[in-house]
Amino acid sequence: MPIEHLKQILADHREWLESNGQAGKKAELSYTQLQGLSLWRADLREAELSHASLQGADLDHARLGRANLRHARLEAASLWQANLRDADLSCAGLRGAKLDHADLSGANLCAADLTGASLWGAQMAGVRLEGAVGITDEQLKDAHLT
């Protein structure tokens, strides 16, 4: 996707958020190829990102609360201090992702692949992990589960 097109989608989405859906347009990025891009501090709350390819992307400090990230490919992505509160990450590929200090409160991680993901200091109260693979006690020991 050309970067100028992505910038326009983000601007339209920001307007949609600020107007409570009365103006702008909700970001529809499902099935898009966004590998390795910098989306640092991007505001993608409630965005549609299902099946998006975000491997190796920089999503540090991104706002992804209530976003639809079902089946998204986030392997080796950096989500340091990202807000993923109540996001749907079911069946997402998070192998090797950096989720340190991320807010995952209330997120759906059912059937997600968390093999080798870093969760140091992550807020995980109310996270759904049924069927998640690759999650270990070692990964969770420094996360905040309550």
Summarize pLDDT for 100-126 with one digit per residue, the tens.
Answer: 999 999 999 999 999 999 999 999 999
Q: If you average pLDDT over residues 50-67, what whole number do you get?
A: 99
Residue 146 has pLDDT above 90, yes or no: no
Split at pLDDT 50, 70, 90, the class of 1 is: confident
Q: Give the chain's end-to-end CA distance (angstroms, integer).
A: 39
Asked if CATH classification 1.10.3720.10 holds for the domain at 28-146, the reply, yes or no, is no
Predicted TM-score (pTM) of the model is: 0.95
Q: What share of the chain in percent tops pLDDT 90?
A: 97
Q: What share of the chain in percent tops pLDDT 70?
A: 100
